[in-house]
Amino acid sequence: MTVSGLATPYGFQDFPNWTEGRSAAIDKIVIHHMATTDYDSVPGIWKTREASAHYGIGQNGQIRAYVDEDNTAWHAGQWSANSSSIGIEHANATGAPDWGIAQATIDASAKLVADIAQRYGFGKVVPYKNLFPHSEFYGTACPGQLKAKLQEIADKANDIMAGGNGNVSTQAAPESVQTPQEDNRSAAIKEFQDKWKNRWALREPFRIRTCEMQYGMYQVLTDDLNVEPNSWFYNGIPTKLLEDLSDPQGRSFENGAMVRFKDDVNFGTIDAYDTNTNSIGILFTGFPYMIWFDADKFLAHA
């Protein structure tokens, strides 16, 4: 088990929404705000909300540990980002719409970031290189005001790692730096983006591997479409989106059954891409969570 010496376990892994182990090396930290002033409500809210993070910091700078760093917390909105990062939540000092953050919270965040960066050999902490806002990986307003505080957190963390106390002046964090990058998109993602302009339609049937009650609803996993490795949280397809072609009347969704998407949800827009895992994310009408699919498999069935 790996937990920062700066943190006190609190409700530690006493909720279902995290994954044992990791599928990638840790190379980044993702910053969040809790969107609540009730520090003690976390992590209890994750017993019913499909999310989690490794750490949380209170308004007075207290640091709590929620998930073992050796395990994968569900915080970034992308499986590849979750697998390779540590997520830090920050309690808000004021409520909506400002969602303020106390200076003590920022100072404690810098200490925790410095500790993590040292232990994992990040070197210098640099925003958008190894320190990211949640919004970099998912369409969200999180981390609120903390997005403009990334450089301050990084500067304080770097000073602490150099032997200082973190009491340094700083400048506003830059936006994500746009630098020329090699096009590492797969052929399938290129086709979806360049030819189909992020549109999709999937009317072909596919075979389900298994159907289970997960997170309060029946869902299926399918080797025909799912990215590997897969999980119910990111890749489960609710049966309410499907027609059971093997048993249209009974809708039994037995293992091995042939199914298809219903006519009102079998087309739309691709909402996110992850080139690292060659996957596409889709928000289906009537379902609030993004489902991730293997781009090659999805294109083959389109």
Euclidean distance between CA atoms 72 and 79, whole angstroms: 9
β 85-90/28-31 pair status = parallel
Distances (CA, A) of 118 to 86, 111, 157, 245: 13, 11, 10, 54
H/E element, 30: strand 28-31
Which domains does the chain possess?
A: 8-161 (3.40.80.10), 187-301 (2.40.50)
* Whole-number Å distance between alpha carbons of 234 and 50: 10
Q: What is the pTM of this model?
A: 0.63
Tens digit of each residue's pLDDT, the chain (302 residues): 999 999 999 999 999 999 999 989 999 999 999 989 999 999 998 988 889 999 999 999 999 999 999 999 999 988 889 999 999 999 999 987 788 999 999 999 999 999 999 999 999 999 999 999 998 887 677 898 999 999 999 999 999 999 998 888 765 545 545 445 567 789 999 999 999 999 999 989 999 999 999 878 899 999 999 987 777 777 899 999 999 998 877 678 999 999 999 999 999 988 877 776 788 888 888 776 778 899 999 999 98
